[in-house]
Structure 1
Amino acid sequence: MIAVNEYLRDLLLETLDLESFLNALTHVSAEALSVAGGPVHVGITLRRHKRVGTVASSSALAQELDEVQYSYGEGPCLSACSEQRTISVPDISLDRRWPDYFQAIATVGIRSMLAVPFTLDSEDTAAINLYSMRPHAFDDEAITQAEAYSQQASALLNLAVTVAQLRDNEENLRLALASRTTINLAVGIIMGQNKCSQERSFEILKSASSSRNIKLRHVAEAVIASTTNVPVTTHFEA
């Protein structure tokens, strides 16, 4: 387990990419948590900004099983995320908790499932979802192993989510500054064309945006495009 954590930690530090980290995590999990008698398919559900989705999977089947669950809005992995507790389904043919979902996936041959939440330091929630073609594939020992694995991997996932949030914030700031640059350039062009003040120029731009029901930045881009074919670039000092 130490070697696995070291591999994932090194991967995260090398790539600083949430998607790459999570994809590696699913494949390592599938190998480490497979049970005797057949492989385990692994998906990771992540709920960020109130949106839920499978951010990584060890196989196309795991991806499909997760997405079917989201379409019903309920199921083991969604419950593991929202309730922050392990959900074990020894035999889906005998479980009555999510009949519509179980009926929908019955034809693919999945017989047992295990969903274990990660412990995140933010409002985001996540769970690792394990699927097996055998009933009762996840005994007490397998559940304990999966929970221990989840607990140890949570610290790395927290770091990965933090990195992703910082990147989101950085990208949002970059877009905001680029938009402001575009608008300021358009205001300057209108000032020159109409011999008016900066305040009046901005009012003209806003009026055009409102009357045409077009975003202010897009109106500004059109104003700039009418005077030059050179794309606008924004320069940031490091």
Structure 2
Amino acid sequence: MPDAFAEAMDALTGPTPPDSALAEPIASALPVSGVAISTLGAFLGNETVSATDTTAARLDEVQFDLGEGPCWDAIGQGKPVLEPDIRQHPLGRWPAFLDAIRHEDVGAIYAFPLFIGPLQLGAMDLYSTEAKVLTDKHARQSAAFASVVSRLVLHKALERAGEDPEALGETRYSRRTIHQATGMVLAQLDLPPDEARLVIQAHAFATGRSVQEIAEDIVDRRLNFSVRDSGIEDSR
């Protein structure tokens, strides 16, 4: 019998991962009714990247409009927010969100944060029409999907902004500095090399500076990505 999780991972990590249909393979591998993937916050803005159906998209839209809901909590807390029975949810939490979706066919919501190192990108929102608990196995699989999707979302955002995620270190003179900076970010955040490079490029994009300038700041220890309560340390 085919492994639905493995097949979905293959679809997401293959040479031609889905673009606007990112949510489709995830929904096919998990016991949920729908999936939406969105960017949230100041870095990439509020936007639905992919949704399997109108209800999933609607859940995103309501959270964008109201500034509250499981996706906001997931990205703010940096951990999944699992609500197995939305109808029995305490009214003190997300009151406007719950009121806005009271007529939607939604019984449970599970939100997983999208992030790479210190970069908060957005959230992956799963819903079920029935109230149900997400098992530990499916929660782990969802978190694995969110990790892969985080990289795909950031990669696509940089491409749309006119940046080339594959071009880091391509010039003769910048390669050594960028390579060294990548190694330092890798150590600071315990990330694989490709994600460490994305963090450098994303910070350059967000601050309106060049990748070379960011790399030089990292190597000269003016910029440290180690996660602290105060955020990224920039001593420039």
In the superposition, the TM-score normalised over structure 2's length comes to 0.58
Q: CA deviation at 1:85?
A: 1.1
In the superposition, the TM-score normalised over structure 1's length comes to 0.58
Deviation track 1:193-220 (CA, whole Å, cap 9, x = no partner) reads xxxxxxxxxxxxxxxxxxxxxxxxxxxx
What letter is aligned with 1:84? G
Q: CA deviation at 1:61?
A: 1.2
Greater gyration radius: 1
Give unpaired runs (5+ residues) of structure 1: 13-19, 169-238
Give unpaired runs (5+ residues) of structure 2: 165-236
Assess, with a 3 A threshold, how the Cα gap between structure 1 residues 116 and 83 changes in structure 2: closer, same or farther.
Answer: same
Distance 1:166 1:124 in 2: 20
Are the aligned partners of 2:56 and 2:127 in contact in 1 as well (CA < 8 Å)? yes
Q: CA deviation at 1:62?
A: 0.8
Q: Does 1:66 align with 2:60?
A: yes
Are the aligned partners of 2:38 and 2:47 in contact in 1 as well (CA < 8 Å)? yes
Deviation track 1:178-203 (CA, whole Å, cap 9, x = no partner) reads xxxxxxxxxxxxxxxxxxxxxxxxxx
Distance 2:148 2:119 in 1: 19
2:102 counterpart SS class: helix
Deviation track 1:56-81 (CA, whole Å, cap 9, x = no partner) reads 11111111121112221100011112
2:11 equivalent in structure 1 = 7
Are the aligned partners of 1:113 and 1:138 in contact in 2 as well (CA < 8 Å)? no
Are the aligned partners of 2:82 and 2:109 in contact in 1 as well (CA < 8 Å)? yes
2:87 counterpart SS class: coil
| Mapping of residues 204-215 of structure 1, within 5 Å | none
Distance 2:114 2:35 in 1: 14
Distance 2:29 2:48 in 1: 20
Across the aligned residues of Structure 1 and Structure 2, the Cα RMSD in angstroms comes to: 2.6
Assess, with a 3 A threshold, how the Cα gap between structure 1 residues 141 and 124 changes in structure 2: closer, same or farther.
Answer: closer
2:51 equivalent in structure 1 = 57
Q: Number of paired residues?
A: 157
Are the aligned partners of 1:82 and 1:125 in contact in 2 as well (CA < 8 Å)? no
Deviation track 1:3-38 (CA, whole Å, cap 9, x = no partner) reads 4334333224xxxxxxx62x22111111111x1xxx
Give the percent of matched residue pairs that are identical in Structure 1 and Structure 2: 27
The structure carrying a bigger helix percent of its residues is 1
2:103 counterpart SS class: helix
Q: Does 1:26 align with 2:30?
A: no
Q: Quick one: which of 48, 66, 81 aligns to 1:87?
A: 81
